[in-house]
Chain A
């Protein structure tokens, strides 16, 4: 094994490293990647090229539109039968592989443990798959009697022209349950991100606002963009319940379609993963007048800040007092663990390349325990995730983005919450920020390296240069990085650990980092005889 801290590889700094990385590429590729590999300056955040096509042949982390739609956004909802319309693979690979925990009551529906597919065959590709899809929906209804069924198109479906939306309408009429489709063919966008948008559009059109439920509590909220990996949402739910917030729905961790249907009755939308769900937040504000704020429950500080922000919005003394009480109590526990572990972890180096928000959120958590992030980037983000929402007007809309429908949403005169709009206006005057997201780069140190859609070659070079103590990414990267003797923490699946959200989650994460960064197992990699001279044996076995 190479010795630690012999980092640098003779390069003078991140600018030289960037040059070294780009040098290997064919000219056109280098030109494109140069705009996505950026040396950061938090004071004057530079422009980064993001949400553009991956160059063919590049070993990318990215997945497809179907994965973003079916896998990420709709996957965690338990009371709906999600039928994948296509050959068997897509339905198979998205079957239970994302760790979205869910807790149905006894007797309540839960279809998340099932994979439903039309398993299209050659004759369906040639002659069309519409009849097969209709029969599949009928068979799903006959066997499972769900209250809702959705259809997800895979690549060939769009090409052969099956009209899944017409079929959804027809079957909705025939079976009398809610049925809707998503045209989320894998090739629709440049990454999973397109699928998120398509999922947002579909849920908003077909589900949100279909149940005008009576009020359940004084402070009604939705949590958007929290997918309950490893039980994160359970932690947050527990906090909300204690301080007295009524959670109408979460999009979409531990969720039900029933809860989405009443989500327009909330007084506030809290956006956690901005990238995957900001569309619904925006549309709900336009149609129903529900304001949204960016929150983050990864990190104890971030959790406290977010709770205070919610309390400030409602402006209720009792709520604020309860929030402060909970923060004080939980902070005490977290601080004790930080005091214990920080001396062991302080000054270590981390890098993270994942998702559309986690690569930002987890930097806060690392900071609390004294670990510095030297390089980071997203897998499927857009420029606003890096540079903040201020750049939105200047983002060029390219052909790939235009491919994804932007719904034309109008005010629902009957159900529009003028009271909330007014409340928002007043709070804004007092300096309260809505729709606020400043992006990752403003929070990262000067000269850190920010890389969008990192690929295998760049990963190798980064590791050689920085020799980080921990690398955060996903399953495809995990064992590559670990072969170098560097532990990798999966921030998609949490390596089957967690929860890491809120206060208890922070403690779990710090303990996990202690395990990963203080183990001596990596020191055992070299055999004791590695540096000994070779002995030429004289008592050898003759073959």
Chain B
């Protein structure tokens, strides 16, 4: 057994997290910065933070992930990191020549009280930022929230710095894309084109974290939201934020700074969340919904009804980030599965409310928890109490899947042992079909490999 010490004897824990269902803020900030064109993320802290974040993102995308670090040593930790950051800005512009440096803090620089805004302002005053180049910053202390909070904080930092209003509205919609894959961004673009809505998507990791093999290495790949696009966000008709945890702060900041009204909707995972997304787009862009999209919806429904018998009543355990798993849980309930165990390490009171709304009527037995000590160890203990038919979550679930012999669908972050997530979307109606394909594939493979020979089925 891989997790041989896990048993069903659940003891309340207050201080110890075991097998976390979250990680820390700075990696989310780094992820946002990678979705900006010509931008080099910079980690203001010890070297290890930067190395860990780059490694994790690289393993997930199997793509280059570049970022610099302030390389704190004891001296910087005692006397403050200003000189390290000033040197960094100098060296980065001289050696790596990005258009933008996106600085985020760490628990180290936050604990000693470094004020990034003040240091960056001083760098500008001292002429360390060449003309036409930019340094933006976000405070991302690792001891509050989670990687999702870091995503939200950097996204807010980006729009606060770049978005400008020339008081002349442009017929475009800001799409704050939430923590999704490059493949999902491509799917958003396709859907927006079908809807004839012109967007600015921020961040846009397509053509950055799914760059083609060309025999040439580009430190700043062709993808990513551009500076003119980010500036223009201040004059967009409306902002659409996908996921409250990841995008609300930035949407509010845009409204405060440039009076761009916003709507927050879920990341369009599954049927109803995609319905809401399409309707929100229709409203935001003042466009009608084309028949081709209604047809896509119909195809998703068609697959659900075709395969309903394999889904009905099946018990599922899910872990991940609120913005991603809330619509996923809703989808599972819609297709008559029973998401019975749900954990997310990311705190936020709204989680309970949303879960209750989705689950109380159809899956009253569901257990869910987020925030402190909502970890994969607890979820595994619940599974030990009463088993499930399916696991959905990031790669770390494979240890539970093997020990308990449970079919496992990888969704979320990080996925470091399979490919596909960065190329095939899980958003939109077609993404819904892909989720179904994966769920059914995993569960039916188990049926095929374990059922008695006499009941082995050719057609399913």
Contacts and interface: CB of A to CB of B under 8 A. Distances in A.
B194 to A, nearest CB: 13
A60 B92 CA distance: 12
Given A88-B17, A122-B143, A67 B52 contact: yes
User: Which one of A56, A64, A121 has the greatest number of beta carbons of chain B within 10 Å?
Assistant: A56
Contacts of B214: 1, 483, 525
A118 B13 CA distance: 11
A321 interface: no
A190 B73 contact: yes
Interface stretch (B83-91, B255-263, B293-301): B83-91
Contacts of A120: 107, 143
A186 B111 CA distance: 14
A154 B106 CA distance: 12
A111 B5 contact: yes
A475 B60 CA distance: 11
A484 interface: yes
A275 interface: no
Given A135-B14, A186-B47, A187-B108, A90 B69 contact: no
B8 interface: no
Contact of B87 (A57, A124, A481): A57
A351 to B, nearest CB: 16
A142 B54 contact: no
B3 A113 contact: yes
A189 interface: yes
A29 B71 CA distance: 14
Given A87-B24, A525-B214, A526-B215, A115 B19 contact: yes
A480 interface: yes
A484 B211 CA distance: 12
A250 B3 CA distance: 23
B216 interface: yes
B20 A117 contact: yes
B47 A155 contact: no
Interface in A1-18: 1-2
B91 A26 contact: yes
B408 interface: no
B112 A400 contact: no
B123 to A, nearest CB: 12
B85 A56 contact: yes
Contact of B90 (A57, A138, A186): A57
A20 B15 CA distance: 53
Contacts of B94: 24-26
B18 A115 contact: yes
A142 B19 CA distance: 16
A474 B51 CA distance: 11
Interface residues of B, number: 84
B74 A475 contact: no
Interface in B164-222: 211, 213-219
B71 A113 contact: no
B211 A476 contact: no
Given A191-B47, A479-B62, A160 B20 contact: no
Interface stretch (A91-99, A385-393, A506-514): A91-99
B377 A125 contact: no
Contacts of B107: 86-87, 89, 120, 125, 154-156
B45 interface: yes
Contacts of A56: 69-71, 84-85, 87-88, 91
Contacts of B19: 95, 114-115
Nearest to B58: A475
A430 interface: no
A525 B71 contact: no
Contact of A93 (B25, B55, B108, B377): B55
Nearest to A24: B95
A508 to B, nearest CB: 21
A144 B107 CA distance: 29
A424 B20 CA distance: 50
Interface string A53-68: 1111111111111110
B146 interface: yes
A484 B214 CA distance: 8
B161 interface: no
B142 interface: yes
Contacts of A475: 55, 58-59
Contacts of B364: none
Interface of B: 2-5, 11, 13-20, 22-27, 42, 45-49, 51-56, 58-59, 62-77, 84-85, 87-92, 94-96, 106-108, 111-112, 141-144, 146, 211, 213-219, 345, 372-373, 377, 396, 399
24 contacts: A26-B90, A53-B71, A55-B71, A57-B71, A61-B51, A64-B47, A64-B48, A65-B48, A87-B107, A88-B20, A95-B396, A110-B4, A114-B18, A114-B19, A114-B377, A119-B17, A120-B107, A155-B72, A155-B77, A156-B108, A159-B112, A187-B46, A476-B65, A480-B217
Given A89-B52, A155-B107, 11 more contacts: A53-B71, A60-B69, A62-B47, A64-B48, A83-B16, A87-B141, A114-B3, A125-B143, A187-B77, A399-B74, A481-B217
